[in-house]
Structure 1
Amino acid sequence: MDVQSKETEMLDLLERLVNIDSGSNYKVGVDQVGSELIPYFQKMGYEITKMKQDEAGDHLVITHPAKKKASILIVAHMDTVFEEGTAAKRPFSVREGRAYGPGVIDMKASLVSVIYALRYLQEIGSTAYQDLQVILNSDEEIGSLTSRPIIEKEAIGKSYALIMEPARRDGSVVTERRGSGRFTIEVHGKAAHSGIEPEKGRSAIEELAHKIVKLHELNDHEHGISVNVGMIEGGNAVNTISATAIGHLDVRVATLKQAEEVEHKIEEVCASSDVTGTEIELSGDMRRPPMLKNKKIEKLFHIVKHVGAELGIDIKDTKTGGGSDASFTSAMGIPTIDGLGPIGGNAHSDKEYLEISSLTERTLLLAKVIERLVEKENK
């Protein structure tokens, strides 16, 4: 099988996937993506276990019966950040060597890449495609709340984890990520007319403003700590003292120690009110630990780099502040490489794109990396 010759049918599958709305909170669409993919794996002899979910899409755990204990875990997600109706407004399109559409690079192109990498291995007679397990999860974009336990359970005993987030724009894979957390601050005050009897009110918005200032003082960008209240809600009329206000907080850290310290400081900030008569409810936690580039990850990267060189690709690595499921496997001590998907950019926006030339190139790279890792395990 020549992967390059499959580009047209790969793009056909990608078009079908992109034109399915599969936002994290749109279960029907995410499950439809899964239904599109399942037959491809079944045709190669894989067994699919659906991990049923009430609200998120069903997660898929895909294994080959020929190998009871697989050595490689591949993780990719089927959900996107886009709301229902986006695909109809902005369907899959191709222009000047790039493909566009909601989720085209993050990460529906990677779903296609996984399938065709495994097909390639099967068709050239390599049994390496059997020595792995694939998890397709449905809530990565909202923190992998229900899929994290599945990923961590299936990762036990694996020698390597390959995470299929897209490669960076320059083609780099990812060997280091910051940890991340999400928190919600809900403030309760007392409503009153701001013109007639303002003294009877207790402003929840004022209290939230105090908290935002104190939380933003926790920023230490030089050392990788980012604290940002990115969304606020509150009040119901301009002439009313607000009875409620809500702040949504995003946190990024570079180390596990920072995660513990920042979470404690957030709790301290929200432990007492600055505006008398208001009450604060804090919820949330640090969702993903940081992915730290250690010796195991370094060794795995050098394998990927060497395989790339054999294919004429100069593979570089990088670190990023964004989160992914790579954090879970790396925190378990499993050698993990992320960003093994095709190349593109502008993810999560209406300008999201895939560099079409990278689709077959990175698919072959993935296949050859799998083959090399299985060979290494069997020595």
Structure 2
Amino acid sequence: MKHYIGTRHQQFLTDFQTIVNIDSSSDNKDGIKKIARFFEKRFSNIGLDTKILFLGKDKVPCLYAEHRPEKKPPKKKFDVMFLGHMDTVFPTGEVEKRPFSIKGNKAFGPGVCDMKGGLLVVLHVLETLKHEGILDSLSVCVAFNGDEETGSNASKDWIMSTAEKSLRTFVFEPCRPGYRFVLQRKGGGWFHVIVKGQEAHAGADPEKGINAVVELAHQIVEINKLNQNDMETSAQVTVITGGDKVNIIPNRAEASVDVRILKLEEKERVETFFKTIQDRSCLKGSKIIVQGRINRPPMEPGDGTRKLWELIRSTGQEIGLLMEAISTGGCSDGNYTSATGTPTIDGMGIVGANAHRADEYAELDSIDNMVLLVSQVCKAIGEKN
């Protein structure tokens, strides 16, 4: 198996260049469809039942593929769910500015580690399992969505229902440098606070106004107090707007708040805080409107996840990889699969860092290692069937 994977390293790089050089920002449906068609063809070639779905009112392109062994009775659940996203945060035109490139041991380009490299790990694992005659011992499904970077609003229910049909989920976000995998993630969401006041002349009639910026400032101080919590909840005011001209009392001010929670029980406390903020205005006559919610539950490792991690860790040790499990504040679609109770391991893609930045990179010497690791883990799962 290791030899076969090594012979296909150049094919991986060719595939890498192909899909990284397709702009596929979350709003670029045509680009996402091109990525989906690339995988649709390759998955179909190895016998997976594959189809492109268009989910939600915006018709978000998503790819679904599955394989069930022909010679075995169909199982109620898939042995493994392979989960990834085809969209990136980079706008259309980014590829022209900085196309796929290689410098030393690193590959660069839009979405190279987040997470086009991870999508290719899935493809090359399944092609390896097919070549080695292992695929027919497994029932697997693949779910690649096209809106992860904007919250997976159209694909969330589809992802969760697919996870409920699976015994375990591997999420192919980038593995962290040093082969660190993600077992725990904070949940999160966004809130938008809008304050309406009353405009007035700032010099002649300030007493006739209700300063929305001042009201918002009071509320920001209260929002910041959510951070003082031993549950590791964070609430960060990230964008504020207010006022129009220097001599007019502002009648409107707005703030965006990024919230992260480590424990599910914090969801109710945080959402209650924002729902009742309108009852705690400081300036008479001001009106406060709040939009938003906690839309991703925290990814909390249970016994099943820890058992699955031990299989992955021990398999890695056998092939010479020293690996570590970590917790992170960032969210992924693994938050959704974990919430269904499905054991979930994240960070199964190639090693990389600096996601969402122009210097995002993937480590080339991790390609064969990650394809081999996941293939060996799947082989071990198949042998237990």
TM-score per shorter chain, which class?
Answer: over 0.9
Pairing 1:185–2:193 present? yes
Give distance in 2, aligned partners of 1:58 and 1:44.
Answer: 22
Give distance in 2, aligned partners of 1:173 and 1:16.
Answer: 27
Aligned to 2:30: 28
Q: Check 1:134–1:212 CA distance in 2 against 1; reply closer, same or farther (3 A cut).
A: same
Aligned to 2:282: 274
Aligned to 2:50: 48
Aligned to 1:91: 99
The answer to whether the 8 A contact 1:4-1:360 is kept is yes
Amino acid at match of 2:348: L
Give distance in 1, aligned partners of 2:136 and 2:314.
Answer: 18
Give distance in 2, aligned partners of 1:246 and 1:12.
Answer: 47
The answer to whether the 8 A contact 2:60-2:154 is kept is no
Aligned to 2:140: 132
Shift of 1:162: 0.8
Give distance in 2, aligned partners of 1:374 and 1:354.
Answer: 29
The answer to whether the 8 A contact 2:69-2:136 is kept is no
Pairing 1:18–2:20 present? yes
Alignment of 1:236-251 (within 5 A): 236-251=244-259
Aligned to 2:151: 143
Shift of 1:129: 7.5
Normalising by structure 1, report the TM-score. 0.94
152-161 vs 117-126, which deviates more?
152-161
Partner deviation per Cα, 1:347-376 (whole Å, 9 max, x = no partner): 111110000111121111111112222323
Q: Check 1:277–1:158 CA distance in 2 against 1; reply closer, same or farther (3 A cut).
A: same
Determine which of 53, 57, 60 is the counterpart of 2:60: 57
Shift of 1:65: 5.4
Determine which of 203, 207, 212 is the counterpart of 2:211: 203
Shift of 1:155: 1.5
Partner deviation per Cα, 1:227-270 (whole Å, 9 max, x = no partner): 11111233333333223222111111111111221221222334
Determine which of 108, 112, 125 is the counterpart of 2:116: 108
Alignment of 1:1-379 (within 5 A): 2-53=4-55, 54-55=57-58, 57-64=60-67, 66=69, 68-69=74-75, 70-128=78-136, 131-220=139-228, 222-376=230-384, 378=385
Partner deviation per Cα, 1:71-121 (whole Å, 9 max, x = no partner): 211110111111222221121111121011111101000011110010000
Give distance in 2, aligned partners of 1:196 and 1:55.
Answer: 50
Q: Check 1:123–1:185 CA distance in 2 against 1; reply closer, same or farther (3 A cut).
A: same
Unaligned runs of 5+ in 1: none
SS at the partner of 1:116? Answer: helix
Partner deviation per Cα, 1:101-147 (whole Å, 9 max, x = no partner): 11110100001111001000001111257511010011111221111
The answer to whether the 8 A contact 1:215-1:269 is kept is no
Give distance in 1, aligned partners of 2:194 and 2:215.
Answer: 10
Give distance in 2, aligned partners of 1:193 and 1:57.
Answer: 48
273-282 vs 64-73, which deviates more?
64-73
Give distance in 2, aligned partners of 1:271 and 1:10.
Answer: 57
Normalising by structure 2, report the TM-score. 0.92
Shift of 1:56: 6.0
Amino acid at match of 2:281: S
The answer to whether the 8 A contact 2:51-2:65 is kept is yes
Amino acid at match of 1:255: K
Amino acid at match of 1:44: I
The answer to whether the 8 A contact 1:56-1:139 is kept is no
Give distance in 1, aligned partners of 2:229 and 2:88.
Answer: 28
Identity, % of aligned positions = 36
SS at the partner of 1:271? Answer: helix
325-334 vs 159-168, which deviates more?
325-334
Aligned Cα root-mean-square deviation (Å): 1.9
Unaligned runs of 5+ in 2: none
Shift of 1:214: 0.6
Amino acid at match of 1:34: A
Give distance in 2, aligned partners of 1:233 and 1:15.
Answer: 41
72-81 vs 256-265, which deviates more?
256-265
Give distance in 2, aligned partners of 1:357 and 1:93.
Answer: 15
147-156 vs 230-239, which deviates more?
230-239
